[in-house]
Amino acid sequence: MRTSKRKATMHQTDPIKDFYTRQLPDAELKNKILTSPCPFCAGNSVGSKKGKPGTLVVFLNPESYFYGYFRCLNRCCPGGFPIHYARLALIKLSLAPGYDPDRDYDVTQVEYPVKNLNHEVTDFTDKISDQQLTRFAAMNISRGVLTEMQIGYNGRYLVYPYFQEDGNCYAARCVHPDRPDDTFWHGNESFVGKQFNIYNCQELSSCENGTIIITEGEDNLLTLKQLGLPAIAMPVAADFVHLSRERLAWIRTIFLCVNNNPESATSARELATRLGFKIRMMRWEDSMPRNYNLAQLSAEQGTGGDGVKKFQKAVFSLIRTSKSFSPFSSPEREFLHFNEQLGLESSATYSTMTSGFAKLDQAMGGMHGINIMGGLPKAGKSCFFIQTATEMARRKVPVIYYDFENGRQKIYLRTLSRLSRLSTEQIKGNRLDDGEKKRLKEAREVLEKMLPWFRVVTDRKLTPTLMRSHIDFLRHETRSTYTMVIIDSLHKLPFKDFSERRTGIDAWLRHLEAIRDELNVSFLVISELTRGEDGQYDKQPQLGAFKGSGDIEYSADNAMVLLPKWDPFADGSAADRINELWLVASREHAPGLVGSYQLDYPFWGFREIDA
């Protein structure tokens, strides 16, 4: 078995390496770089002028983003990846790694005119002066790069030709060397703007199945060309909007490097959002000045060979530290968030998220997540949650009570009744003895101190966005990590019209899930129960009894049913008004009877009793 594994390993092939070694039989491989006399120099004017072929280098480090990239050190032709090599070598594209037999290569949707600016471009390149050469040399951009990119000068403006995919130039951008904002376009107006504003666009086909860098401004691109890196540029980052997904579909990895300002960063993020996972953002350090760019970085390294080497080191540092534009949080952030949450769940604050009912807190480990309670009409659901909410607020847990049933005044009055042990009629009647007055005064003080942590909202135009703003405010105001939100009731949350009730409730549940996860919010939600065909309510505690939403079983961390063991519509003594609370579904806890709760009449509260 070991022998067969070893043989299998020996026969593993590297298609990219094999492709280049077949095409360049005299090449030498050292330090994962293949070197060979350039096979393209002989048929190129650059190679002819040099008198001998240059050196072709191929980068064969599988861990590099530029794996498979080749270029001639003589700059006789644009570098690229295997498909581009096959084009230049005039061999079948099907021999190149990454070839797609279902794709139509070299097909363009653009009809190019007969007239072009090629002769004018040549005239402009002949006019470039020593002063302009010195300007570019200060950024470590050599004459060889200027010749390769055919940069020219018209006597006042630098001329950057925008060659199209057919190899011809139909428009050029003219930029004043001392005033970069002083620009104009020369040539065919039909080739100005939108998809034609890509500088060095031929690189797109050269880099199929490989990597490219996108930057803004021609000079920034020239610094990358000096390093032999494949790149395209737009005049300004705002033009990124014209880069379509289709145009970049065959590029495997794209690095984005824009000028250091908020406008360029925004344009880069918008492009990254459209292109997704293949984008990696090259980021400047926070200490860099506004509008800092690659040309400035290159100029600061000093001129000459040492300057180029320092600039190369700096650029590859930006590449190594680049961040992928991912739909996922980084692994580092995920681990940090996990540890933070673990610490919070072990904190004293987390343990304060309790109802105040011992059996209920034991059965559910406290009030965490989305907890939905259904019950019959008049069973005391609101009373149960008002008591829970106010007791939490007394412990300085921030609570928002969304009420669509009772009204703010009634909630405060019932809370005052429970705290003072006086009926609401006694409180409103104001005929109290001295002991009762003392209890009422003390209860008022407790209620007043509680209110910064207990906010009642009766806005029937509530939206998820407004709910988030309420939570953010109260968290900030109370300096709290956790918040309790109570909704009375789920079926009275605002949605467009009655016909959309089911979908509206389910949509609200999705929002509650997101708020729970993003803002450390727990929910206590009252739900209605469904009547049977006979018009009666099911007396059995079960998940199917909840009304109007099949999503409750998926959204609720805990689903409870409060069932009276007495007839809410019949007269009877307060001692007989006992309800059973059942946990009918839970993500983490065993379903079953939680406890029995006796109505504390007439003080609008419950007492937990033995079953």
Q: Is 279 exposed, middle or buried (0-12, 13-18, 19+ CB in 10 A)?
A: buried
- Report, as ranges of residue numbers, the positions in the chain whose pLDDT lies below 70: 1-12, 43-51, 106-108, 327-328, 496-502, 532-539, 544, 548-551, 568-575, 611
Contact 243, 215 (CB under 8 A): no
CATH, range 14-95: 3.90.580
Contact 80, 210 (CB under 8 A): yes
Q: Which sign does the torsion angle of CA 468, 510, 483, 527 carry? A: positive
Report helix, strand or coil for 401.
strand
Partners of 559 in the β-ladder:
372, 585
594 to 131, 372, 568, 582: CA distances (angstroms): 87, 14, 21, 5
304's CB contacts (< 8 A; 6+ apart) are 140
CA dihedral 447, 450, 454, 458 (to 10 degrees): 20
Protein fold of 122-324: Dna Topoisomerase Vi A Subunit; Chain: A, domain 2 (3.40.1360)
For 366-606, the fitting CATH number among 1.10.645.10, 3.40.50.300, 3.40.440.10, 3.40.109.10 is: 3.40.50.300
Query: What secondary structure, in 3-state letters, does 102-121 show?
Result: CCCCCCCCCCCCCCCCHHHH
In the chain, domain spans: 14-95, 122-324, 366-606
CA 148 to chain centre: 40
Please name the residue ranges forming H helices in 352-452: 358-364, 381-394, 408-420, 424-429, 434-450
Q: 14: how many CB neighbours lie within 10 A of its CB?
A: 14
587's CB contacts (< 8 A; 6+ apart) are 369, 557, 558
Q: What angle do CA 76, 82, 84 make, to 5 degrees?
A: 50
Q: What angle do CA 555, 357, 577 make, to 5 degrees?
A: 95
Strands laid side by side in the 211-216 sheet: 231-234, 211-216, 253-257, 279-281, 323-324
Tell me, what's the pLDDT at 276?
A: 83
Tell me, what's the pLDDT at 96?
A: 95
Tell me, what's the pLDDT at 208?
A: 94
Strands laid side by side in the 158-163 sheet: 152-153, 158-163, 169-175, 183-187
> Dihedrals φ, ψ of 542, to 5°?
-150, 160
Q: Which sign does the torsion angle of CA 293, 296, 302, 305 carry? A: positive
Amino acid, single-letter form, for residue 541: P
Both structure tokens of 338? 């996990």
